[in-house]
């Protein structure tokens, strides 16, 4: 799917034509520059590599500096490959937020916020075990039994237990594009997207 790289600016809300308040997320998407073009003959598949967010040349190692110099662009902090662009793109070309139009649906991928070590109620949505009265002590948010003693005499792999939560790649699908502000490179989508403020996001058609 074709798409662009961007940053999460934050959340807000807007009113539609019926006066309904819609929660939405503001993304700074593009401009992205073409840093490499993959072809069937050379690479075995067709794709376009885009770079986003300039970084200082002294921060780029020699391999990166040579890669971006070949494309004729400044070093980038984030580089992602996309497939399925309808238009033909060449090295050094710029793709802006106008690649998207209002009303269409997009998928947004990013790394979710890290939550640290969490219990089963927050991590897996367990309801809690036992009653809150009748001498209940400290088992309200406990996971309960994780496996019998005689059989299977072990804990099965994949058992939902407490552990580290967040910090994973998450994709939210079918978010409607509410606004495209081309002069400021802003894309407003309905609902929330993963990641903290200023986190890199990948927006795909």
Which positions ≥6 away from 95 have C-beta within 8 Å?
Answer: 4, 30, 31, 32, 33, 34, 50, 89
The CATH number of 3-117+169-204 is 2.40.30.10
- Average pLDDT in the chain: 92
Confidence of residue 16 (pLDDT cuts 50, 70, 90): confident
- Mean pLDDT along residues 141-146: 88
Q: Is the pLDDT of residue 133 over 80?
A: no
pLDDT for the residue numbered 2: 87
Q: Is the pLDDT of residue 203 over 90?
A: yes
pLDDT for the residue numbered 122: 95
- Provide CATH 2.40.30.10 ranges for the chain: 3-117+169-204
Cα–Cα distances (Å) from 53 to 69, 94, 102, 122, in that order, read: 16, 13, 24, 35
The pair of structure tokens assigned to 15 is 């009113």
The two counts, helices (H) then strands (E), for the chain are: 3, 12
Q: Is the pLDDT of residue 90 over 90?
A: no
Q: How far apart are CA 53 and CA 185, in angstroms?
A: 12
- 158-197: pLDDT as tens digits: 999 999 999 999 999 999 999 999 999 999 999 999 999 9
Q: Is the pLDDT of residue 132 over 80?
A: no
Q: Is the pLDDT of residue 136 over 90?
A: no
Q: How far apart are CA 90 and CA 75, in angstroms?
A: 17
Contact status, residue 82 vs residue 99, Cβ threshold 8 Å: no
């Amino acid at each position: 799917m074709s798409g662009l790289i961007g940053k999460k600016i934050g959340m807000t809300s807007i009113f539609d034509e019926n006066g309904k308040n819609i929660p939405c997320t503001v993304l700074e998407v593009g401009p992205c520059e073409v840093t490499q073009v993959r072809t069937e003959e050379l690479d075995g598949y067709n794709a376009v590599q885009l770079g986003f967010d300039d970084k200082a040349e002294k921060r780029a190692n020699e391999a990166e500096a040579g890669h971006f110099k070949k494309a004729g662009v400044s070093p980038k902090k984030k580089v992602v490959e996309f497939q399925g662009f309808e238009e033909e793109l060449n090295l050094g070309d710029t793709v802006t937020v106008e690649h998207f139009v209002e009303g269409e649906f997009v998928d947004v991928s990013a790394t979710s916020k890290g939550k640290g070590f969490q219990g089963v109620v927050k991590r897996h949505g367990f309801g809690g075990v036992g009653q809150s009265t009748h001498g209940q002590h400290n088992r309200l948010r406990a996971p309960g039994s994780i496996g019998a003693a005689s059989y299977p005499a072990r804990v099965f792999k994949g058992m939902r237990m407490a552990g580290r939560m967040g910090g994973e790649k998450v994709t939210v699908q079918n978010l409607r594009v509410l606004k495209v502000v081309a002069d400021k490179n802003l894309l407003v989508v309905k609902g929330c997207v993963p990641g903290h403020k200023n986190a890199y996001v990948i927006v795909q058609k």
